[in-house]
């Protein structure tokens, strides 16, 4: 299974932020849309990733408030990325090694989507359920020996 298979099922709604916008506005968007991440784009290029982890870290450094901080001050400027053709086993390994919950999907310099650890786990479970269903159907139809 490839990343493209997950995005095909998930859809391609993307939420982004600009690095110079107020962090408070980005957090508000995340809360309104019930999303855990924003891709940070500047002049059409991916420049970072903002997740609830970075927001919490920024709040701790800023006495429990986002105050007048900008997205740039909290974002991860070197996010883990993958491509549409990255194999799901590789994505799982990368996410586990870096403790990444969200990963932008890039094709050249074009942002294609974002996959989450939840998306990866759901794809694995769905694949296993399908395989189990096929195996059970195969066993049920096992020919009797004469």
Domain positions in the chain: 3-140
Q: What pLDDT is attached to residue 69?
A: 95
Residue 20 pLDDT exceeds 90: yes
Q: What pLDDT is attached to residue 125?
A: 82
- Ranked by mean pLDDT, the top range of 62-66, 70-74, 114-118, 132-136 is 70-74
Long-range contacts of 51-59 (CB under 8 A, 24+ apart): 51/76, 51/101, 51/102, 53/101, 55/23, 55/26, 55/27, 55/30, 58/23
Instruction: Count Cα neighbours of 106 within 13 Å in the Cβ-side half-sphere.
Output: 18
- What's the topology of domain 3-140? CBS-domain (3.10.580)
pLDDT in tens, 90-113: 999 999 999 999 999 999 889 999
Structure-model confidence comparison of residues 39 and 135, the more confident one: 39
* pTM for the full predicted model: 0.81
């Amino acid at each position: 299974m490839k990343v493209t298979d997950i995005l095909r099922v998930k859809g391609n709604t993307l939420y982004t932020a600009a690095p110079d916008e107020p962090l408070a506005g980005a957090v508000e968007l995340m809360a309104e849309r019930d999303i855990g991440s924003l891709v940070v784009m500047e002049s059409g290029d991916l420049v970072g990733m903002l997740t609830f982890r970075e927001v919490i870290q920024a709040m701790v450094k800023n006495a429990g408030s986002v105050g007048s901080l900008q997205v740039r001050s909290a974002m991860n400027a070197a996010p883990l990325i993958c491509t549409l053709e990255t194999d799901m086993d590789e994505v799982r390994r990368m996410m586990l090694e870096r403790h990444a919950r969200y990963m932008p999907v890039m094709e050249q310099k074009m942002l294609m989507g974002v996959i989450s650890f939840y998306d990866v786990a759901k794809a694995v479970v769905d694949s296993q359920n399908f395989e189990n269903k096929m195996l059970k159907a195969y066993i049920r139809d096992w020919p009797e020996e004469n």
